[in-house]
């Protein structure tokens, strides 16, 4: 998810996306532990998406 998409999304949708992304990340991490992923860069991409969404939510709380 790109930053421009995150900025356009409502707060409630961002909270849902954050929960979904965290679940997907933990599933990928577990799958990678059991057997190596074909593309381990997916882990980094999910982690960064989670950070972008969390940062935007925090920014919105402060304002």
pLDDT in tens, 41-57: 999 999 999 999 999 99
> Is this prediction's pTM over 0.85?
yes
Is 90 exceeded by the pLDDT of residue 1?
no
Q: In whole angstroms, how far apart are CA 10 and each of 1, 6, 30, 40, 50?
A: 14, 8, 30, 30, 16
């Amino acid at each position: 998810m790109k930053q421009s998409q995150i900025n356009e999304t409502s707060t409630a949708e961002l909270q849902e996306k954050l929960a979904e992304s965290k679940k997907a990340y933990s599933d990928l991490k577990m799958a990678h532990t059991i057997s190596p992923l074909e593309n381990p860069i997916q882990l980094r991409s999910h982690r960064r998406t989670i950070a972008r969404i969390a940062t935007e939510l925090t920014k919105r709380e402060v304002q």
